[in-house]
Chains A and B, each alone.
Chain A
């Protein structure tokens, strides 16, 4: 049973516009969430995280929003740039289980010039 779900396998956005990537989860014991970005032939790299006690975290062009009642989080990229084209993974951390993460399936973002 997939505890972290990214229901959109792909997303295409025009350069300069907003990209919104979505993630749903089922386990209320997750205590924080992370987004990773992956380019082809490279490993995933950490992008941004949010604690379950927050509803928003912002870092430059990247903002993550958390809606605990809906068990939903989203990553906003504004403005989108062609270099943002990559696969984005949402991940969730179990409370009190060390460093274990549960990853979603990933969403491939394509930003067109």
Chain B
């Protein structure tokens, strides 16, 4: 079984709709992240959470919100989707106790298309 799962894997929606992407992990990590990947831009951080009560904006948080429902669950919402939010979205986790590397473990991604 995958350690980091994302649902849905693919989603097509229309402009103005509210969308929620969900992420669950079984790694027992405290830290969770949401990224988006766009061609030529790499992975950009949207939001991150270091524990259930800690939520932080990343470099591109406008138009997004998040909820950390439990240690294992971190969801990303687009309150009113727009076409330039069409992208591949990744959730990741890391363990504070990993030492200096803070290796992040990624889910398989959600491909979101906003028409």
Q: Interface of A with B (CB < 8 Å)?
A: 4, 6, 9, 31-32, 34, 36, 41-46, 49, 51, 89, 91, 93, 98-106
Contacts and interface: CB of A to CB of B under 8 A. Distances in A.
Interface string B14-33: 00000000000000000101
A45 B109 CA distance: 12
28 contacts: A34-B103, A41-B109, A42-B108, A42-B109, A43-B106, A43-B108, A43-B109, A44-B90, A44-B106, A46-B104, A89-B43, A91-B43, A93-B102, A98-B96, A99-B48, A99-B94, A99-B96, A99-B102, A99-B104, A100-B48, A100-B58, A101-B45, A101-B102, A102-B45, A103-B35, A103-B44, A105-B41, A106-B42
A112 B42 CA distance: 24
Contacts of B43: 44, 89, 91, 103, 106
A45 B101 contact: no
A49 B45 CA distance: 20
Interface centre among A9, A46, A99, A102 (most CB of B within 10 A): A99
Contacts of A49: 101, 103
B69 interface: no
Given A41-B108, A43-B4, A44-B106, A100 B96 contact: no
Given A41-B108, A44-B90, A100 B100 contact: no
Given A98-B50, A105-B40, A43 B90 contact: yes
Sort chain B's interface into a size bin: 20 to 34
B101 A32 contact: yes
A65 B8 CA distance: 38
Contacts of B31: 98-99
B10 to A, nearest CB: 10
A34 B10 CA distance: 28
